[in-house]
Structure 1
Amino acid sequence: MRSRTQIFVKSSTNSQETLIVDPTHSQTQTLTLSDLKSSLLSRDQPLSSFYFTLNGKILNDSIPLFDNPQIAPLSTLYLRQRVLGGGGDGGATGAESRDCYLKMYAEKKPDKIDPNEVRLSKWLNCALSNEPLREPCVIDKLGNIFNKEVLVQALLSKSLPRGFGYIRGLKDLVNVKLTKVPGEEDDGGYHAKFQCPITGFEFNGKYKFFALRTCGHVLSAKALKEVKSSSCLVCHEEFSELDRIVINGSEEEVALLRERMEGEKVKVKDKKVKRVKNDEVGIGKEEGLDSEKVSGMKRGVVETNGVEKKILGKVENVKRLKAGDMAPPNANKSSVYASIFTSSKKSDLKETYMCRSLPLGRN
């Protein structure tokens, strides 16, 4: 014999009612939620304005109350009232067109990016391959940090992106020495693996770090500020203010590093030009030439008495040939010019304006 089923009903007024259902009764077996709703509400309240929910899900009014797998014994049904739309509630007012809704759902909004993840990715991953940082590591003159193996492969295959076009070779990079966090294993997790050897600050972007070009050690800005010294705090190698490169700096700091890099390129070009000029002046003195005459000539070439000598590289003596060198002795300009169009030897053969006459037997 079946026992009675007990169900709790709770309305918006927080009043809880208990409904006891007798499954043996014939009318109870066909009882639906619509019947339960009509028994709980007054005649003044429309049934369509109310609905039942169970565990946050809306129940259909046609669901039977008894022998239903969705409604277990001792379940709590919530009787809620529908809010009628009248504008301003987020519903449709009838003024919108169908295209408005299609555009609203067709335009995909960009996913929100967590700034913390962006910061961690910049400090924990290689700037080129976005792989986790693994020693050996290098930085460029703008403070970007890379896995050395990945960057060398990109340089050899000439597949370096245009954004890193200022990196021409290993001379544009600085080998850095990172200090690992004690007890930290390289498991590829998304957490800091390196730290400052002086303060213990983690290499995760929350603190500013500098790399020293002289020795390659990476130290936090706080360590360099607290211990005022012109030598590295780890290896005691001397460095200057220009030897400090901020890692993953702000836009203003990167702009200063870029200006410094461009200034270094100009200095290198000036040194090369001065070296070439000094070599030219030295060769000019050896040959007994004026320095102004040498510097005004073609680069790397000195001309002395019709002889061309190369300053840089192997010296070769090359004599320049002139038209006057092939002229016969005691010849003037008119005779040399006439010899171009006429035979140098006089003969009895007649010549026309078309061609010279040939001897008999050859025409």
Structure 2
Amino acid sequence: MGCDGGTIPKRDELVRTKKKPEQKDKAADLVAKWKHCALSQERLVEPIMACELGKLYNRESALEFLLDRSKFECAQSFDHLRVLKDLKKLELTVNRGYEGWLAEKGDSYIDMQKSGYICPVVGLEMNGKYKFCFSWKCGCVVSERALKEVKTDVCHKCGKPFAPEDIVLMNAAEEDYDEMKTKMEARRLKTKMEKKAKKAEKHKVETTSQAAEGEASSSKRVRIVEPAKVESGSSKLTNGLKNPRTKVTNGKVEEKAAKAKSIQEDPTASKAFKSLFTSSDRARNQPKAHWVTFNPMYY
């Protein structure tokens, strides 16, 4: 057969066969999804954020992405991230038995399936082998098994109520991805309609309050004025009277007294008021100041 040493060749050594498609390592894929940021591929550090499709992010990486998308090559895959409200901070339960990232040694076994977080209800590790989910209202993370075993309408961790459409699967598989996307669109549409309803109600309250204030102010301004007879050819400034010094009181026309030429001749002014002016008798008889001492009391 042309092989030295009596070796027996195999079929794949003699016949050219089609190569099997390259498959990714499942353990490495789970580690990349559950222990690394989906944007920067760095190790996840608290606070850990999650989007409505269940992907995990570091807070700093998410903020950097929202500020400048051009720095990331995979920006098209994260078009659903528009503002910071599209991310939710996760409330995780720490695994006390987790020793953290240790230095790799050549003769030691490294268990990549250990996780730093567990389910607070059933104690399963959040390593990708089991499905985990969180409530979009509170952000508390539990396993899907806990939701199925203990059926309730409130969160197992914080007690906040939630609806079935508020549950988001973390790192959802391809068959669950379409369902998560449908829930996301329905949730965003619901919040949009609620905002519109609040704005309409607020605008309605403002308009009613303004109308009530306008009615109150108009009622205060109403005055009852008795009609006065206006002769033809009279001006508006004279109030329909021939003499501008006349006025109407209780339907009778009274003439004002002609203004006196001097204050001292005014019969309506008092003596004290008249004494304030130099034209009074008291001011004339008052002694003047001496030209040397400037003392009005010196004679």
Task: Tell me the TM-score range normalised by the shorter chain.
Answer: 0.5 to 0.7
Structure 1 pair 167–187 and aligned structure 2 pair: CA distance change class (3 A):
same
| Cα RMSD, aligned residues only | 3.7
1:127 paired with 2:38, answer yes
Number of the residue aligned with 1:3: none
Query: With structure 2 as the length reference, what TM-score do the two structures score?
Result: 0.55
Query: With structure 1 as the length reference, what TM-score do the two structures score?
Result: 0.46
Q: Kindly indicate whether structure 1 or structure 2 has the higher relative contact order, using CA contacts under 8 Å at least 6 residues apart.
A: 2
Whether contact under 8 Å (1:143, 1:254) holds in the other structure is: no
1:251 paired with 2:251, answer no
Q: Residue deviations 1:298-326, cap 9 Å, x none?
A: xxxxxxxxxxxxxxxxxxxxxxxxxxxxx
Which letter does structure 1 place at the counterpart of 2:6? Q
1:81 paired with 2:33, answer no
Number of the residue aligned with 1:143: 54
Whether contact under 8 Å (1:49, 1:81) holds in the other structure is: no
Number of the residue aligned with 1:181: 95
Which secondary structure does the structure 1 equivalent of 2:61 belong to?
helix
Q: 1:157 aligns with which of 56, 68, 81?
A: 68
Which secondary structure does the structure 2 equivalent of 1:132 belong to?
coil
Whether contact under 8 Å (1:142, 1:257) holds in the other structure is: yes
Whether contact under 8 Å (1:181, 1:194) holds in the other structure is: yes
More strand by share: 1
Question: What is the CA-CA distance between 1:109 and the residue it aligns to?
Answer: 8.4
Which secondary structure does the structure 1 equivalent of 2:81 belong to?
coil
1:220-259 paired onto structure 2 within 5 Å: 220-259=143-182
Number of the residue aligned with 2:83: 169
Which secondary structure does the structure 2 equivalent of 1:122 belong to?
helix
1:326-345 paired onto structure 2 within 5 Å: none
Number of aligned positions between the proteins: 197
Q: Which runs of 5+ in 1 are unaligned?
A: 1-47, 52-79, 93-100, 288-363
Whether contact under 8 Å (2:66, 2:84) holds in the other structure is: no
Structure 1 pair 50–145 and aligned structure 2 pair: CA distance change class (3 A):
closer
Question: What is the CA-CA distance between 1:215 and the residue it aligns to?
Answer: 2.2
Which secondary structure does the structure 2 equivalent of 1:210 belong to?
strand
Question: What is the CA-CA distance between 1:236 and the residue it aligns to?
Answer: 2.0
Q: Which runs of 5+ in 2 are unaligned?
A: 103-109, 212-299
Number of the residue aligned with 1:208: 131
Question: What is the CA-CA distance between 1:140 and the residue it aligns to?
Answer: 0.6
Distance 1:223 1:82 in 2: 58
Q: 1:197 aligns with which of 113, 117, 120?
A: 120
Question: What is the CA-CA distance between 1:128 and the residue it aligns to?
Answer: 1.2
Q: Residue deviations 1:236-288, cap 9 Å, x none?
A: 2222212211111122322122112222333344455556767489869979x
Q: Which runs of 4+ in 1 moved over 6 A?
A: 107-110, 275-278, 284-287
